[in-house]
Amino acid sequence: MNLIENFRIALRALAANKLRSALTMLGIIIGVGSVVALMAIGNGATAGITAQVQGIGSNLLTVMPGRLRQGPNQGGGQAALYYSDYQALAKTITAGVVGIAPAYQAQATVTFETETKSATIIGTTAEYAKLRNYKPALGRFPNASEEAGGSRVTVLGWQAAEDLFGGVSPVGRPIKINGVLFTVVGVIEEQGSSGFGSADDLVMVPLSTGYDKIFGAAATEGGKKKVSNIIMSATSEDVVDSVIVQVERTLRRQHKLAPTKELDFTVLSQAQLLSTLGAITGILTTFLGSIAAISLLVGGIGIMNIMLVSVTERTKEIGLRKAVGAKRSAILMQFLVETLILSLLGGVIGIGLGVGVAALVTATGTVTASVTASSVALAFSFAAAVGLFFGLYPAYRASRLRPIEALRYE
Amino acid sequence: MTTMTTMIEVENITKVYQMGDTQVRALDGVDLRIEKGEMTAIMGPSGSGKSTLLAILGCLDVPTSGVYRLDGENAERLSDDQLASVRSRKIGFVFQQFNLLQRTTALENVMMPLSYAGVNGKTRRERAEQALSKVGLDDRMHHRPNELSGGQQQRVAIARALVNDPAIVLADEPTGALDSKTGTEIIRLFQQLHREYGQTVIYVTHDPFIARHTGRVVRMSDGKILSDEKIAEPLEAGAPRPSEVALGHQ
């Protein structure tokens, strides 16, 4: 009795109960399908976020207030960055950086005629757009004199422009930010759709104008102007580390921190940001995959249930096979092969389903789901393992039936 | 048959079942010796132990105590898989309810014992075709059981029992589910196969008329052998049924 024969016997037995076999398989199909689809969506989201972060420029450094680290915050101390910090950095760090720009961010209501939306307002300098690699799709960025003079000019992100103006070009038109009138001078090129903190949804204003007209009292502390972050771009990847050291030294002096004291700011490189984001999205993907895996487990229990019924139904057949000389191992294999066909065939169809769902999700445009070979392999081998695990017990029961009793079974 | 060798040797066999708190002695010291080539009927009412004896003779079960030698091989203390191996090599079964696999053709049903015996596919097919030919079903090989009459189904079952060239063929009420005309045909087939191939056949029945078609009648009651009688002139299949008085021996 070889494997091919077992395979034939199993197919015949499964074909005899087509509906039942199909329904049993459905559990595995849905399980495998959801593992493949959800992991594809998770992977797609990860890839999207990663691409976006990389798009910003891989040598970009971001200085943020507060200490980004694990564990409890050891309290106290100032946890803010100031415009004066930017000035100090711009003065001290001359070598190794392409440029440096401060930014203050706040949420504000933006209105054009009757259209209103809430947007992130970034008050910054012309340098910022350059460092971030933003290019104007329409119009231009504010020039130096507008920045110095506190002109009420603004540049919109692609999505923000779309939301407020529809198809119409916003350049030259007036909008209100928190009730203050601004003139739109440019629109930033589309940066890519997905992810959080999208560059497409922002509204840029000159920093000085922002302090004067929009940000208000929240932006100052003890007469010093606060900034949300300071970005700079290293000339090459090799100097990133030395620039970080310089920034830390300068700001330690600025913030009058004793050498033993912990820093009250964080210098984040893109590499770090990527690994942090990667860790988060990795957890997300694993989480989605685990939920899907549970449904696969339920599918496995369904298989076991049906196989137990099938063994009972076919007691007489088992008795006969044993009477004509089938050993325990032969009966065990017969039923195991049957379960494996159910789970593996279900696995293959499930992969098809998962790929289909992933394609459908991609078509809707929210996330570009990417089915990876590893997720397919994982889902398939998990289905095989489920089949083996849940098939073993019914097959074992069948193999242990005593032929004399099995033959008498009605 | 010039030299008689012993095919079945049973010495003081008992079989005790535990049914809850009570012990049931299905076999209570049975001695039996059957020579090669004999056609024997085992008779007895239900509960007499004949089915238990048949199960032990067929290596489907082992006795609680006693000795059983089949074709020179001891079979009373074998494991499940060893019993399966003995069944595969030496025993052919014919059941009252035919016990054919419904979804497979006659040929595949007959091939089944060979596949468990490890015979390769081509030889398997040839031998199954030969066996079906012996029982007169050359033109029904690719029919499924539900396309065959009761008599034809039992012929397939007989072919399946013979395909391994077994040392003994055990038939448990093989005509019990058939009408008398078809039953007669099956008896005729058994007699013919016995004559042509000299197979050792053991036939379990409760019908004294059918038992008279064999060369020896063993009667059982309460787990013991009541009588063991040689039939000088077995009935030929198709012979008229004698009166009940003539069949009754006591």
Whether B249 has a pLDDT exceeding 60, the answer reads no
Contact B8, B25 (CB under 8 A): no
Binary contact (B60, A317; C-beta < 8 A): no
Output phi, psi for A54, to 5 deg.
Answer: -65, -30
Residue B215: name the closest of B193, B191, B197 by CA: B191
pLDDT at residue B200, rounded to an integer: 92
pLDDT at residue A68, rounded to an integer: 63
pLDDT at residue A166, rounded to an integer: 86
pLDDT at residue A192, rounded to an integer: 64
Q: Which of B55, B101, B113 sits opposite A325 (nearest CB)?
A: B113
Whether A120 has a pLDDT exceeding 60, the answer reads yes
B84 at A interface, C-beta within 8 A: yes
Quick one: what percent of chain B has pLDDT higher than 90?
Answer: 66
Residue A227: pLDDT band (50, 70, 90) is very high
B55 at A interface, C-beta within 8 A: yes
Per-chain mean pLDDT for chain A:
87
Q: What is the mean pLDDT of residues A273-286?
A: 83
Residue B160: name the closest of B196, B197, B112 by CA: B112
Whether A177 has a pLDDT exceeding 50, the answer reads yes
> Nearest CA of chain B to the CA of A306: how many Å?
20
Q: What is the mean pLDDT of residues A178-190?
A: 91
B194 or A72: which leads in pLDDT: B194
Residues in chain A closer than 8 A to B80 (CB atoms): 327-328
Binary contact (B87, A323; C-beta < 8 A): yes
B99 at A interface, C-beta within 8 A: yes
pLDDT in tens, B70-121: 988 898 889 999 999 999 999 999 999 999 998 899 999 999 999 999 898 8
Enter the ipTM: 0.92
Binary contact (B104, A321; C-beta < 8 A): no
> Nearest CA of chain A to the CA of B246: how many Å?
34
pLDDT at residue B18, rounded to an integer: 87
SS3 annotation, chain A: CCHHHHHHHHHHHHHHCHHHHHHHHHHHHHHHHHHHHHHHHHHHHHHHHHHHHHHCCCCEEEEEECCCCCCCCCCCCCCCEEHHHHHHHHHHCCCCEEEEEEEEEEEEEEEECCEEEEEEEEEECHHHHHHHCCCEEEECCCCHHHHHHCCCEEEECHHHHHHHHCCCCCCCCEEEECCEEEEEEEEECCCCCCCCCCHHHEEEEEHHHHHHHHHHHHHEECCEEEECEEEEEECCHHHHHHHHHHHHHHHHHHCCCCCCCCCCEEEEEHHHHHHHHHHHHHHHHHHHHHHHHHHHHHHHHHHHHHHHHHHHHCHHHHHHHHHCCCCHHHHHHHHHHHHHHHHHHHHHHHHHHHHHHHHHHHHHCCCCCCCCHHHHHHHHHHHHHHHHHHHHHHHHHHHHCCHHHHHHCC
pLDDT at residue A66, rounded to an integer: 83
A330 at B interface, C-beta within 8 A: yes
Residue A284: pLDDT band (50, 70, 90) is confident
Helix (H, G, I), strand (E, B) or coil at B27: strand
Two structure tokens written together for A149: 């003079």
pLDDT in tens, A6-27: 888 889 889 888 999 999 999 9
Whether B21 has a pLDDT exceeding 60, the answer reads yes
Binary contact (B84, A322; C-beta < 8 A): yes
pLDDT in tens, B122-175: 999 999 999 999 999 999 999 999 999 999 999 999 999 999 999 899 999 999
pLDDT in tens, B212-231: 999 999 999 999 999 999 98
Residues in chain A closer than 8 A to B115 (CB atoms): 1, 5
Q: Which of B93, B103, B115 sits opposite A323 (nearest CB)?
A: B93
Quick one: what percent of chain A has pLDDT higher than 90?
Answer: 39
A269 or A230: which leads in pLDDT: A230
Q: What is the mean pLDDT of residues A400-406?
A: 91
Whether A62 has a pLDDT exceeding 60, the answer reads yes
Q: Which of A13, A323, A328 sits opposite B81 (nearest CB)?
A: A328
pLDDT at residue B28, rounded to an integer: 93
Binary contact (A324, B88; C-beta < 8 A): yes
pLDDT at residue B135, rounded to an integer: 92
Whether A194 has a pLDDT exceeding 60, the answer reads no
Residue A69: pLDDT band (50, 70, 90) is low
Whether A195 has a pLDDT exceeding 60, the answer reads no
Residue B46: pLDDT band (50, 70, 90) is confident
pLDDT at residue B237, rounded to an integer: 85
> Nearest CA of chain A to the CA of B226: how many Å?
25
Contact B67, B30 (CB under 8 A): no
pLDDT at residue A268, rounded to an integer: 84
pLDDT at residue B250, rounded to an integer: 43
Q: What is the mean pLDDT of residues A227-240?
A: 88
pLDDT at residue A277, rounded to an integer: 80
B17 at A interface, C-beta within 8 A: no
Residue A292: pLDDT band (50, 70, 90) is confident
Residue A197: pLDDT band (50, 70, 90) is low
> Nearest CA of chain B to the CA of A385: how many Å?
28
- How far apart CA A332 and CA A341 sit, in angstroms, is 14
pLDDT at residue A76, rounded to an integer: 47
Contact A52, A200 (CB under 8 A): no
Predicted structure pTM score? 0.72
pLDDT in tens, A198-213: 678 889 999 999 998 8
Q: What is the mean pLDDT of residues A159-188?
A: 90
pLDDT in tens, A326-377: 999 999 999 999 999 999 999 999 999 999 999 999 998 777 888 888 888 9
Whether A59 has a pLDDT exceeding 90, the answer reads no
Which CA distances in Å does A200 have to A61, A76, A134, A205? Answer: 21, 36, 10, 15
A278 or A111: which leads in pLDDT: A111
